[in-house]
């Protein structure tokens, strides 16, 4: 089953048929992958559902106004009776001239930004799915199409469902098409491509550990490489062990599932320095010999969501082909308890030569990232490195499911992260990477140890550890997405019990894609 070395062509990648029942392989996409824009108005479109809006101050969007007049002021009546309040998240059905109209609450007019547009668009798709309607059309209700990218994103994200393992006939209804009316902005299609990339990442995260294996991640990278004209390099266990990636190799000792070190290179930006993304691709984290408690251990199938974020970003780049250079690195393995598994007390040597004393085999994410970051530092001259990882339970304690913890070595890069966080609506909060914390991961007998002071500042200790593997002078930011990658509040954009694909929109904004 193993394939591929270096930059050589690798053998055909296929699922292990024993692990993956072909009958449940996806036949149709469970999310919209495109959204069109159309000059039509509400009375011309054939869509099954037509969405227009009303704000909290009871003012109607332009198309809502037209429909209100055509319907003998039925919206005004509903507003006067107090049924329509215009609050965000609210929606009401009306039937006018044989058309099914959805009047959406859009909230405060002065706060109607890209994020509000995205949420409203998500609501359109979700409503259509719940009513089993095939096609939707929504008014472009932003001024001069300034938020049309969000319309495309929201319609696709709201259409996402994870149905691959539901085998019953009536288990799933899939939305077939969406368009934005009275609009010709190219940002609609762009937003849809980004939404589709986020759905791609969600799928990688939602598939269980026996399907979303390191081999499957390599296969996903192959699909992206083919679509985007990227160079794909995959190192298998023997190769990366030989190369000196002792930290990844150490974690991978406990599993028979073939681990992979995956590199995608997208070079379309001339001689500019590449931006490097590194994602934790831990496809199942049992904790290793320092085994996790059984409760919720199933959720550790999501421990590859960092890799889903960076692969999803590359998926969007493959579709949109911006003029930039980006390298994406995914160290990928399971963390199990096989007879050869690494143990507490063991000492591993990472690719940059640093020795690591293992105090807890469950702090494995930072180990595989150590080799990813070392590889990025050694083989490229990056403009900067961003890494994404479901790294610590502590970040969930600190920030809940609301924001990712960010830490790094470069203030101006951190500023850019914060700006893109605002633009994308993907919240981050900076934690301090002070020298006091960096001291906590020094070992008595090796260069570093793989955890800090037990019970204290766990997310920062993890970042302090990672910093040891990033070459000095390379600006670097670490995103701890253990709280945001899954398990948050259900919204029109994020369905219940699903990976979120968190961070893709933030990174694309940073890259000016
Ligand atoms: N993948 C986990 C982090 C995690 C835990 C994410 C719970 C989401 C929910 C990571 O590999 C891990 O186990 N980290 C340990 C580190 C500790 C042993 C220093 C943790 O956070 O408990
Ligand atoms: Mn772990
Ligand atoms: Zn983990």
Residue in 289, 297, 361, 362 to alter for ligand 1 test, most ligand atoms within 8 A of Cβ: 362
Our answer to whether residue 366 is catalytic in this structure is yes
Q: Is the separation of the CB atoms in 230 and 318 below 8 Å?
A: yes
Task: Give 3-state DSSP helix, strand, coil % of the chain, rounded to 5.
Answer: 35, 20, 45
| Predicted confidence (pLDDT) per residue in 307-362, tens digit | 999 999 999 999 999 999 999 999 999 999 999 999 999 999 999 999 999 999 99
Verify whether ligand 1 is closer than 6 Å to residue 203 (CB atom): no
For the CA of 360, the closest atom of ligand 1 is: 18
Nearest CA to ligand 1 atom 13: 362
Task: Point out the ligand nearest to the CA of residue 286.
Answer: 2
User: Which residue ranges of the chain lie beneath pLDDT 70?
Assistant: 1-28
Say how many Å lie between the CA of residue 285 and the centre of ligand 2. 6
Q: What is residue 172's predicted lDDT score, i.e. its pLDDT?
A: 84
Let me know if 505 is a catalytic residue.
Answer: no
Q: Are 217 and 283 in contact (CB under 8 A)?
A: yes
The SS3 of residue 357 is: strand
- pLDDT at position 141: 84
- The helix/strand/coil state of 309 is helix
Of residues 136, 139, 114, the one with CA closest to residue 125: 136
DSSP-assigned states of every residue in 476-501: EEEEE-TTTSBS----SSS-TT-B--
Query: What pLDDT, in 10s, does the model give residues 114-171?
Result: 999 999 999 999 999 999 999 999 999 888 889 999 999 999 999 999 999 998 777 7
Q: How many CB atoms are located within 10 Å of the residue 383 CB?
A: 17
Task: Ligand 1 pocket test: pick from 288, 392, 485 the residue with the most ligand atoms within 8 Å of its Cβ.
Answer: 392
Model pTM score: 0.95
**Can you tell me the distance from the alpha carbon of 443 to that of 182, in angstroms, rounded to the nearest whole number?**
63
Q: What is the pLDDT of residue 145?
A: 87
Q: Is the C-beta atom of 161 inside 6 A of ligand 1?
A: no
Residues in Cβ contact with 166 at an 8 Å cutoff, skipping those fewer than 6 apart: 172
Q: How far is the CA of 403 from the CAs of 277, 366, 400, in angstroms?
A: 19, 20, 7
Please give the pLDDT value at position 13: 46
Ligand 1 binding pocket includes 393 (Cβ within 6 Å): yes
219 in ligand 1 pocket by Cβ < 6 Å? Answer: no
Q: What is the spatial distance between Cα 113 and Cα 92, in angstroms, rounded to a whole number? A: 22
Hey, what are 67's tokens?
A: 């429909």
Rounded to 10°, the helix 458-467/365-379 angle is: 30
Say what the pLDDT of residue 15 is: 46
Q: Is 243 exposed, middle or buried (0-12, 13-18, 19+ CB in 10 A)?
A: middle
């Amino acid at each position: 089953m193993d394939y591929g070395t270096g930059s050589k062509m690798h053998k055909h990648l296929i699922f292990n048929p024993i692990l993956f029942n072909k009958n449940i392989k996806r036949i149709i996409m469970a999310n919209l992958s495109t959204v069109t824009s159309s000059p039509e108005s509400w009375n011309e479109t054939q869509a099954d559902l037509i969405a227009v809006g009303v704000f909290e101050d009871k003012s109607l969007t332009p198309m809502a106004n037209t429909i209100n007049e055509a319907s003998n002021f039925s919206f005004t009546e509903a507003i006067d009776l107090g049924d329509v309040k215009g609050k965000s998240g609210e929606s009401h059905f009306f039937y006018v001239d044989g058309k099914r109209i959805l009047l959406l609450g859009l909230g405060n007019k002065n706060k109607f930004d890209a994020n509000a547009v995205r949420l409203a668009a998500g609501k359109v798709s979700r409503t259509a799915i719940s009513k089993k309607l095939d096609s939707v059309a929504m008014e472009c209700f932003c001024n001069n199409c300034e938020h049309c990218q969000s319309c495309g994103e929201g319609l696709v994200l709201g259409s996402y469902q994870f149905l691959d393992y539901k085998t019953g006939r009536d288990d799933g209804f899939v939305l077939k098409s969406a368009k934005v009316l009275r609009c010709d902005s190219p940002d609609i299609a762009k937003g849809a491509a980004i939404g589709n990339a986020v759905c791609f990442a969600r799928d990688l995260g939602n598939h269980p550990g026996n399907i979303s294996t390191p081999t499957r991640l390599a296969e996903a990278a192959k699909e992206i490489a083919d679509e985007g004209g990227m160079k794909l390099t995959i190192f298998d266990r023997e190769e990366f062990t030989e190369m000196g990636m002792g930290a990844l190799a150490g974690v991978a000792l406990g599993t028979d599932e073939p681990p992979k070190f995956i590199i995608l290179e997208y070079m379309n930006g001339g001689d500019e320095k590449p931006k490097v993304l590194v994602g934790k691709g831990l496809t199942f984290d049992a904790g290793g010999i320092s085994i996790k408690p059984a409760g919720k251990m199933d959720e550790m199938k999501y421990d590859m969501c960092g890799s889903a974020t960076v692969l999803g970003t590359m998926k969007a780049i493959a579709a949109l082909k911006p003029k930039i250079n980006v390298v994406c690195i995914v160290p990928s393995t399971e963390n199990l308890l096989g007879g050869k598994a690494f143990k507490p007390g063991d000492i591993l040597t990472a690719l940059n030569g640093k020795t690591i004393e293992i105090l807890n085999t469950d702090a494995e994410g930072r180990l595989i990232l150590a080799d990813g970051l070392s590889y990025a530092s050694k083989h490229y001259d990056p403009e900067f490195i961003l890494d994404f990882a479901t790294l610590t339970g502590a970040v969930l304690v600190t920030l809940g499911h609301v924001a990712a913890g960010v830490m790094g070595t470069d203030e101006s890069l951190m500023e850019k992260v914060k700006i893109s966080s605002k633009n994308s609506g993907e919240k981050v909060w900076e934690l301090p990477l002070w020298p006091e914390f960096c001291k906590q991961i020094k070992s008595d007998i090796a260069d570093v140890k793989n955890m800090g002071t037990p019970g204290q500042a766990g997310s920062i200790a993890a970042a302090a550890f990672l910093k040891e593997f990033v070459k000095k002078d390379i600006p670097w930011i670490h995103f701890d997405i253990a709280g945001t990658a899954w398990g948050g509040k259900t919204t029109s954009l994020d369905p219940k019990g699903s990976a979120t694909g968190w961070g893709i929109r933030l990174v694309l904004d940073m890259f000016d894609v």
